[in-house]
């Protein structure tokens, strides 16, 4: 079994980011701390851009690991470095959600993520692997 941060597109149309536990001998895969990807338009000085937010995939559950039938997985691919960092930030903040109000990432957090994505664009990323 291996653990990797992946983006999964489900047959329902939902896209989630999570750690994946591959179970080759089972007809399901286990997803750990899944968060749903939500994109929405955002007005900027340069025009309309696409923004991203993450939210818990399964609300009000005590567990943080869920079994997803492999038959429901349309695409399984690597998440970009910047997205992984944003996901890890959101997972850390979600753990404290009950103790304090969930604050958005700071300007510095967002600038760091953007710089990492610019680096990936300039120097390339490894090819993603898809499962159909």
State the pLDDT at residue 110: 81
Delimit the domains of the chain by residue range: 3-123
Tens digits of pLDDT across the chain (132 residues)? 445 899 999 999 999 999 999 888 999 999 999 999 998 888 888 889 888 899 999 988 888 999 999 999 999 999 999 999 999 999 888 775 554 445 667 788 888 888 877 766 777 655 555 554
Closest CA to 81 of 27, 128, 24: 128
CATH topology for 3-123 is: SH3 type barrels. (2.30.30)
pLDDT score of 103: 61
The residues, any chain, with a CB within 8 Å of residue 92's CB and separated by 6 or more, are none
Q: Which residues contact residue 83 at a Cβ distance below 8 angstroms, ignoring those fewer than 6 apart?
A: 7, 17, 52
* Two tokens, residue 35: 């968060």
Q: Is the pTM of this model over 0.75?
A: no
pLDDT at 27: 94
Q: Look at residue 59 in the predicted model and tell me its pLDDT.
A: 84
For residue 116, the model assigns a pLDDT of 78
Residue 102's pLDDT is 52
């Amino acid at each position: 079994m291996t653990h990797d941060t992946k983006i999964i597109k489900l047959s329902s149309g939902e896209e989630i980011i999570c750690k994946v536990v591959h179970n080759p001998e089972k007809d399901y895969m286990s997803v750990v701390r899944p968060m749903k990807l939500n994109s929405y338009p955002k007005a900027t000085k340069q025009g309309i851009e696409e923004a991203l937010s993450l939210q818990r995939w399964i609300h009000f559950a005590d567990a943080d690991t869920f079994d997803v039938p492999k038959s429901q997985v349309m695409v399984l691919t690597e998440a970009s470095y910047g997205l992984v960092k944003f996901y890890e930030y959101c997972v850390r903040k979600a753990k404290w959600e009950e103790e304090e109000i969930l604050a958005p990432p700071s300007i510095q957090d967002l600038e760091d993520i953007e710089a990492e994505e610019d680096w990936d664009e300039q120097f390339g990323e490894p090819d993603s692997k898809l499962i159909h």
